[in-house]
Amino acid sequence: MPIFVYTTKFINIISFMISIIIYLFINLCINHVDIPINKVQFKADFTVQEDITQKDQLSSNYLEENEAWYIQIDKIELKAPIQEGTTQQIMEDFVGHFEESSKDFGNVCLAAHNRGYKNNYFSRIKELQEGDEIRYKYKNIEKTYIVTKHEIIENTDWSNLEKTEENKITLITCVENEPEYRRCIQGIEK
C-alpha cells in the first residue's frame, strides 16, 4: 500500500482518539458543574468520601432536625428537606444550607442541584417569577417569601449571599451547560 493510505489511516485514528478525549472531558465537566464554587466566606467542601459514620449521622440529623427544616414552593411542586452544609454528600439528598448564612433571620442561603444527580430539587426553579411564593420552615419558625429577583450571575459573584438585616431567602443553582454562571433567585419576607 502506498504511504498515503497509511498516513490517512493514522490521521483518522488520531482524530478519532482526540474526539473521544474531548467528549469525555466535556461530559465530565458538565456532570460536575452543578456544584457551587468554593469561597472563603461561604466554605463548601465538595470532596466525596464514603464515610459510614457521616452517613449515619446524616440520617440521624434528618430525623431529629430536618423534620422541621424544609423549603416548599407550591408553584413548582417542591417540598424538600434542608441539611446544613453544601458538600457533595449533603446535596445528594438535601437542599444544602450555606453554613455561614442565617437559618432564621437575615439572608437564608440555599443551594441544590438542578439535573444530573440523585436529587435535583432545584430542577424547576428557573420557572419562578417575581411575585411567586417560597415557604421556608426551620424548627418552629415559618416564613413566606415573595420572589423579587431572578437573574443569572457569574459563578464568582457571591454578593447575593452576604448577610443582611432584611429577611430574605437566596436560592442558588447552576445554569445548564454554562459552568461559569449560576441562577440566583431571591425573595423578601412577606
pLDDT in tens, 6-57: 566 667 677 766 766 666 555 555 544 444 433 334 333 333 333 334 444 4
Alpha-carbon distance 115 to 133, whole Å? 23
Residues 15, 73: one domain?
no
Alpha-carbon distance 59 to 63, whole Å? 6
SS3 for 101? coil
Residue range 135-155, pLDDT digits in tens: 999 999 999 999 999 999 999
Residues 91, 178: one domain?
yes
Residue range 146-185, pLDDT digits in tens: 999 999 999 999 999 999 999 999 999 999 999 999 999 9
Alpha-carbon distance 107 to 100, whole Å? 10
Residues 113, 153: one domain?
yes
Return mean pLDDT, the chain: 80
Residue 168 in grid coordinates: 430574605
Residue numbers of the domain that contains 14? 1-32
The predicted model scores a pTM of 0.67
Residues 183, 93: one domain?
yes
Residues 92, 185: one domain?
yes
Residue range 66-109, pLDDT digits in tens: 468 999 999 999 999 999 999 999 999 999 999 999 999 999 99
Strands 168-174 and 107-111 come out as parallel
Instruction: Report the pLDDT value the prediction gives residue 17, as an integer from 0 to 100.
Output: 66
The count of domains in the chain is: 2
> Strands, E, within the chain: which ranges?
69-73, 78-84, 95-97, 107-111, 133-138, 141-154, 168-174, 181-189
